[in-house]
């Protein structure tokens, strides 16, 4: 079956530091890849997505590139802010497997001023 493995947290950074959260996946088909973010007390919301190999998703200064050769979709941001503190989930959706979605376990990011 499909699976998503995320870098274990928690991750603590100082404001303006560079962020990388690793995500690798296993899929039988050709998945679309997503990063969702969950702020305290809120539901998950889509941060960015990429639907085919070499696509780059970007939003709010975050980026991730769909790397089929390494089956990875690492999340990066050049300069984090305190407001980026949240839990980040990597996910895939496999349209060749009835659209089934698989989520990683999440990585908690804390940014300190």
Which of 40, 69, 70, 99 forms a contact with another protein (CB under 8 A)?
99
Q: How far apart are CA 49 and CA 11, in angstroms?
A: 22
Among 74, 106, 101, which Cα is nearest to 1's?
A: 101
CB of 57 to another protein, least distance (A): 11
Q: What's the Cα-to-Cα distance from 2 to each of 24, 28, 109, rounded to whole Å? A: 11, 7, 25
CB of 113 to another protein, least distance (A): 26
Which of 15, 16, 54, 105 forms a contact with another protein (CB under 8 A)?
105
SS3 state of residue 103: strand
In the region spanning residues 30 to 89, those forming contacts with another protein, defined by CB under 8 A, are 32, 34, 36, 41-46, 49, 51, 89
Residue 23 CB partners (closer than 8 Å, separation 6+): 4, 5, 6, 7, 33, 35, 64, 72, 73, 74, 75, 90, 104
Stretch that binds another protein, among 18-26, 58-66, 67-75, 99-107 (CB under 8 A): 99-107
Stretch that binds another protein, among 18-26, 60-68, 72-80, 98-106 (CB under 8 A): 98-106
Interface residues with another protein (CB under 8 A) are 4, 32, 34, 36, 41-46, 49, 51, 89, 91, 93, 95, 98-101, 103-106
């Amino acid at each position: 079956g499909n699976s998503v493995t995320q870098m274990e947290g928690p991750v603590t950074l100082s404001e303006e530091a560079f962020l990388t959260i690793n995500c690798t996946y296993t899929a039988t088909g050709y998945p679309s890849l997503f990063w969702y973010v969950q702020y305290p007390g809120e539901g998950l919301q889509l941060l960015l997505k990429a639907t085919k190999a070499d696509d780059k998703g970007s939003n709010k200064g975050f980026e991730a590139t769909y790397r089929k050769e390494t089956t990875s979709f690492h999340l990066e941001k050049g300069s984090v802010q305190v407001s980026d503190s949240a839990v980040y989930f990597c996910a895939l959706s496999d349209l060749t497997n009835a659209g089934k979605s698989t989520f990683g376990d999440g990585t908690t990011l804390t940014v300190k001023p």
